[in-house]
Structure 1
Amino acid sequence: MANQDWVSRLLTGRASVDKGLNVHLSERDGGSLHDKMRQAYWWITNNAVICPYYDIEFGGSASLKNSAGDEVHLPESMSYSSFVLIPLLTLFTCRRALLIGGPGRGKTTSAILMALLSGMSREDIRRSIQRGHPQLSIADLLGAPLPSDMLKADDLSAVKVSWRKWITQRVKIIDEYNRIPTKTQSALLSLMAEGYAEMMDQYVYAGRSSWFLTANDDQGGGTFQVIEALKDRLDVVVRAVPFNSNFIDTLLQRIEADKSPEEMLPKDVIFTDGELERAYASILEVDVPKDVLERVAFFLGQLDFCRMASPRFEFKHKDTLKLAGQSVSAVCNEQCPLDKKVHLCTQTENGVSVRAYQTILHYAKALAFFRGHTTVELEDFRQIAPWVLHEKLVPNTRSAFFEAKGHKVLLQDRVAWIRHMFDMAMEHHERHQPIRRKVSVLREELDKGLSGIDLRTTEKRLASVTALMNELLTKQELSGPVYEDLIHLKSMYSRYRNYATWLKDNPGGRL
């Protein structure tokens, strides 16, 4: 019976609502921040957004399958809805999320709920939402100089700018951002990227904040094309999901009670500024084990590689092609000896920026913290990476990989595609481990520093690095992981060579 009670509490969340939409709260399980985060998550999932799509799964899973190949996974551990969880993680990491989906799917409601969780009032939220439309000017978005000052001032420093109050709010909501004119998008980019806005030689600072932008789609369905730099500043994508008709009775209750989800949010799942700051700091303290970090790097590192991009070894990456106005699909052909069905480099037109690396690390830490863990697991990365890379990776649709049986459907769902790539990388990782261990040994030796190392020892280490590079070039296929290791080894070679040259020029010198 105790187990049944626990399951009942889990399914209903900490809060339940009766037919009159009166909220009843159960006792909180503990007083920690991640407990409060989970309580907020379950309340939103079961009472506000009503999202039965639990697509972020942990633990092993059984599965049910029919004769047509349709499969339902049944995870053995906790699972969560990305549509609710990722905005919540965005709130606590002070990142930028793009919510995509058709009209009436709950995108703006989800963003408003995040603002309410941060302690903002409903009135402040309504006034602070920036709604994209073709006539939105920079003054509408940021503010404008006071007319009286403009008439009286002798110089710009005497003109006071009346900044819009939303700029300094903890949570910022931009509705239908792809309907904002291009010039105004540039002003939004500066505020989002640099954290401040400038006008008439005066500045306003956004402070640490979470951004939630919405769009009905991100494929040109808005009034204006979104500038590439603005899209690149978005950290994560959240895909809205359709309403499940089995929960229509809940909609009827809302109509009869004449209440919206925002009006029912329990006060004790609202976070204070102090709690938000402590949660932010606690997330940063979550540990990432070295072996887990290395596996994630193994996946991300090979996406940039393109063997045919340049005859110069250092420029065999996709940025070289982009700068030349070329595409991967134009050079990824039979002239490249790599197996297109095995190597990840063929599947994407681009690689991953440093900003995306950092975002994945931050969200993985946040996901681990939300789950009550002090250490990030590989599965945390596996679950969060597709949402971070959703709008950052462009598939090479002409790759032979997508021609294989069952692979073409991956082009229709980027989350499934990116997760499939991640799984492929983990399968290849074990085979590459002996090589990477050799590289790591040399790197650890160099990381101890060069202070006090004599010329003879330096030359010996140079020989070891050169020998390993020669082994990789002559005995291994030049694939993405091998290329990463060779570039890494060459950087070590250069450091040792530069140091050896300095020792020769400064006999008896010490660093």
Structure 2
Amino acid sequence: MAVRTEEARVKVYRNLDEIAKKYHFAPLDEGLNGKPLRKNLMLMTLTHLLDKNCLLVGEPGWGKTTGAKIIVAKLSGLPKDLYDSVEIRGNPQKYEEKLVGRPDYGQLAQGKEAVVWQATFGVDDIIIDEGNRLPYDSQDVILQGVDTGLWIYLNRVLYEGKKPMFMTLNERTGYHQNGLLPALKDRMDIVIEQKYWRTGDAFDFDEAKRRVETELCRHDYTQVALDALAKGYEPYKKALAKRPVNGHITAEEKTAVRQDMLSLELDNDAMLFIQAFMAEINYSEQYGCKRSGDPSSPDTHDKHYAGVSVKNSFSPRSAMAVTDYAKALAWFLQDRVVGLDHVRYVLPHVFAHKAEFTDEYKNTHGGDRRKDNEILHLANTLVTEVAKRYSDTIQPMKNVIARVRKQDLTPEERKAKKLKLSDGTP
């Protein structure tokens, strides 16, 4: 039976509304066209629907990991306590066997090579708590799986398909903080800051916690699933086929929604702005292609553009993430075309954690009045600056080119013959 995407959209809205009212504190934030949005809740939901990777940052104890597990439990239909049991908890002693799999010792005793895979890969979403505390060797181990859904241990391969991943990172973790490998950071499609709610919410914590425990947890189900894993990975997957949390988004609905999202088209302004942003970040007169090892360009021309404010490039993965999240945002807002505003809304969240802003840019803008953490504020500021240059230069030229094609120039403009198109046509 074909999935009706409009019904699935309503189901997504209903789930988000229920999460915000009953289980997870998700304050309204600045939206588009003056309409407030529950930004964090929405972006995390879009991450689940798009099978993307989300980095959650913020102070300890503000519900980054818990919030992610509540959201994916409600959307996937798998109980939260199952996600509690199978999440990857970052610590310096987390070696490969605790992350991916281990030898099947019973088979090994008989001279056979077999792998017992970790339970993490069977659920719909991968949760990694405090990923920056994983040792670099362990971060290397999960790179391919995070990107493609292909997990390798010994000579065995497990392919579960690309799944959404939520990784948390505390602002201050004390000792044993390794940070994230650049390659792993680049695979994180978007960053969200979990921060202060309303003071009145403090009196609702106990009730929300009780609802999560009674409505989103299924202890018997979780125990049966984990017992099945002891018999083998296939029995475990079979145990997960039943989804006990009511109202979830089915696999068929999720696929249909994702296809509907990605079928939307970007208008010219949206495409040109992404190209303008990439050009400003990734190219300089002084060094050509952007390289993290090069110093900041001293060239006068380069100093007018965004590339001198960041150390890292804007990678192809980032470009794909901006496009996909902008489309998903337009779908969520029921807009038929993906415009410049959609791109500007998601772009800071795609680039903030990857940019590595220069000390000069931090000194200039880090002390501004702001509502977001430093990297998101700096990314918002940078995107605003690029948008102004786009509005002042590229957009007027694009409008004139459109008028030329429509033969809509004034007699004075025709007589002046100063305008040149990119193909040389006067």
Same fold, TM exceeding 0.5? yes
Unpaired segments ≥5 residues, structure 2: 217-243, 404-420
Q: Which residue of 2 aligns with 1:276?
A: 254
Is 1:337 matched with 2:311? no
Counterpart residue number, 2:108: 150
Kindly state the Cα deviation for residue 81 of structure 1 after the two structures are TM-superposed.
2.6
Q: CA deviation at 1:268?
A: 5.1
**1:326 maps onto 2:308 in alignment:** no
Equivalent residue runs for 1:71-470 within 5 Å = 75=34, 78-116=35-73, 117-153=75-111, 158-217=112-171, 223-254=177-208, 259-261=210-212, 263-264=214-215, 269-309=247-287, 316-319=288-291, 322=292, 325-328=293-296, 331-332=297-298, 336-338=299-301, 340=303, 342-398=304-360, 403=364, 408-409=367-368, 413-430=374-391, 431-433=393-395
- Counterparts in 2 of 1:222 and 1:467: CA distance versus 1, 3 Å: farther
* Distance change in 2, residues 1:182/1:128 (3 Å): same
Q: 2:32 aligned with 1:58, yes or no?
A: yes
CA distance 1:368–1:208, shift in 2 (3 Å): same
SS in 1 for 2:278: helix
CA contact (8 A) 1:91 1:210 kept: yes
Larger radius of gyration: 1
SS in 1 for 2:354: coil
- Give the Cα–Cα distance (whole angstroms) in 2 for the partners of residues 189 and 388 of structure 1: 18
Instruction: Give the 3 Å change call, closer, same or farther, for CA 339–131 of structure 1 in structure 2.
Output: closer
Preserved CA contact (<8 Å) 1:107 1:214: yes
Q: Quick one: distance in 2 between partners of 1:327 and 1:364?
A: 32
The whole-number CA distance in structure 2 between the counterparts of 1:235 and 1:219 is 23
Opposite residue 87 of structure 1, the aligned amino acid is M
| TM-score, scaled relative to structure 2 | 0.78
Query: What TM-score does the superposition give when structure 1 sets the normalisation length?
Result: 0.66
Please say which of residues 41-50 and 219-228 is displaced more in the overlay: 219-228
Alpha-carbon contact 1:365-1:376 (below 8 Å) kept: yes
Whether the 8 Å contact between 1:382 and 1:422 is mirrored in structure 2 is yes
For residues 200-245 of structure 1, the C-alpha deviation after alignment (integer angstroms, 9 at most, x for no partner) is: 3110113131101112128987533322211111111110112321
Q: Write the distance in 2 (CA, Å) between the matches of 1:134 and 1:424.
A: 40
Pick closer, same or farther for the CA change 1:57–1:112 going to 2, 3 Å.
same
Residues 285, 263 of structure 1: CA spacing in aligned structure 2 closer, same or farther, 3 A cutoff?
farther
CA contact (8 A) 2:96 2:141 kept: yes
Please list the CA deviations of residues 376-416 of structure 1 after superposition, one character each: whole Å capped at 9, or x if unmatched. 122111111111111111212225x964xx77528963333
Give the 3 Å change call, closer, same or farther, for CA 199–438 of structure 1 in structure 2.
Answer: farther
| Change in 2 beyond 3 A, CA 1:105/1:301 | same
Aligned residue pairs, count: 374
Separation in structure 2 between the aligned mates of residue 353 and residue 218 of structure 1, nearest angstrom: 27
**Do 1:55 and 1:81's aligned partners in 2 also have CA atoms closer than 8 Å?**
yes
Higher relative contact order (CA 8 A, sep 6+): 2
Secondary structure of residue in 2 paired with 1:381:
helix
* AA matched with 1:99: L
Name the SS of the counterpart of 1:159 in structure 2: coil
RMSD: 3.1
Contact 1:100 1:218 in 2 (8 A): no
Query: Distance between the aligned counterparts of 1:123 and 1:361, measured in 2?
Result: 34
Counterpart Cα distance in 1 of 2:294 and 2:18: 49
